[in-house]
């Protein structure tokens, strides 16, 4: 085998994908050729570099939201479509026509969609979302995917599972214990879920990218260093606040003073 031929086989050799015959031929050549041995090492190391070092770009939350809207809007389900007809009344005829025509129309619709979506969301929706997500945590048989041995076990677990790093380093204390964490969703985006325990009460903290959500600017209350939007919904206390690019939503059935106490601990640690 010539060097050029061997070089083409090196990746397959390294990955164990060659036939027995080819493997033997490449092996024989490698035994005699230092250049190709070096190329094999470089090939192996390049795989490591690509896997570990090459940045992965996650789709922006706004893009995923638009795609999700479009995909459900064009879904074939009769129930969904009837709802959509109301929503896109002027386009109903186009949507009902051929798939290709619908796709073309959607291309136009997408340009106006983000503004429409933002306008249609209110802070009350965020509060409601927080309560729904908290209920899901409480109802789940396995509310945490990573059991807590402290924040230093929980936080690294999120790495690679989210496209942002949740800034939380409160690891629990005598009053509030950190039970663990999991990956959840807050509306359209991924969220880091931290589950705390206050005696028998469960407290959920959701941390997520804040962009594109209707963050309240008026009627905020000072809780420690935070300016929070405080609400009571379906018997749960909800605190919402924003810190730079990240949004925080703290939900529980504990009383407001207790929830504030935890929020202050989280803020102090962040």
Q: Cβ of residue 35: shortest distance to another protein, in angstroms?
A: 7
Contacts of 17 (CB under 8 A, 6+ apart): none
In this structure, what are the phi and psi dihedrals at residue 208, rounded to the nearest 5 degrees?
A: -155, 165
- The DSSP bridge partners found for residue 223 are 226
Tokens of 203: 């407290």
Q: How far apart are CA 130 and CA 118, in angstroms?
A: 18
- Pick out residues in 197-216 that bind another protein (CB under 8 A): none
* Total number of residues that touch another protein (CB under 8 A): 65
**38 binds another protein, rule: CB under 8 A:** yes
**32 binds another protein, rule: CB under 8 A:** no
**49 binds another protein, rule: CB under 8 A:** yes
Instruction: Give the three-state DSSP class for 147.
Output: strand
Q: How far apart are CA 3 and CA 36, in angstroms?
A: 7
Cβ proximity to another protein, 172 vs 181, nearer residue: 181
- DSSP conformation class of 173: -
Contacts of 135 (CB under 8 A, 6+ apart): none
Cβ proximity to another protein, 69 vs 229, nearer residue: 69
- Single out the segment in contact with another protein by CB under 8 A; choices: 104-112, 165-173, 209-217, 225-233: 104-112
Residues contributing to the site for another protein (CB under 8 A): 3-4, 7-12, 35, 38-39, 41-43, 45-46, 49-51, 53-60, 63-64, 66-72, 74-77, 79-80, 83-84, 86-87, 99-100, 102-104, 106-107, 110, 120-122, 125, 136, 163, 183-185, 187-188
């Amino acid at each position: 085998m010539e060097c050029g031929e061997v070089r083409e086989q090196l990746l397959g050799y390294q990955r164990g994908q060659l036939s027995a015959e080819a493997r033997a031929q490449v092996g024989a050549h490698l035994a005699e050729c230092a250049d190709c041995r070096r190329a094999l090492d470089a090939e192996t190391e390049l795989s490591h570099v690509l896997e570990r070092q090459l940045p992965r770009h996650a789709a922006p939350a706004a893009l995923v939201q638009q795609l999700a809207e479009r995909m459900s809007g064009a879904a074939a389900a009769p129930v969904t479509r009837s709802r959509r007809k109301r929503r896109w009344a002027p386009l109903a005829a186009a949507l009902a026509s051929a798939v290709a025509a619908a796709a073309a129309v959607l291309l136009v619709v997408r340009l106006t969609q983000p503004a429409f979506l933002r306008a249609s969301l209110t802070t009350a929706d965020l509060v409601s979302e927080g309560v729904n997500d908290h209920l899901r945590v409480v109802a789940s048989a396995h509310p945490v995917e990573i059991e807590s041995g402290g924040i230093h076990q929980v936080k690294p677990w999120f790495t690679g599972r989210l496209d942002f790093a949740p800034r939380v380093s409160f690891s629990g204390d005598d009053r509030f214990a950190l039970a663990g964490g999991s990956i959840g969703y807050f509306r359209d985006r991924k969220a880091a879920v931290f589950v705390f325990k206050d005696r028998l009460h469960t407290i959920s903290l959701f941390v997520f990218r804040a962009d594109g959500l209707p963050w309240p600017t008026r009627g905020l209350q000072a809780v420690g260093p935070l300016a929070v939007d405080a609400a009571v919904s379906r018997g749960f206390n909800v605190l919402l606040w924003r810190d730079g690019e990240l949004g925080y939503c703290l939900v529980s059935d504990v009383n407001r003073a207790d929830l504030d106490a935890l929020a202050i601990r989280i803020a102090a640690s962040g």
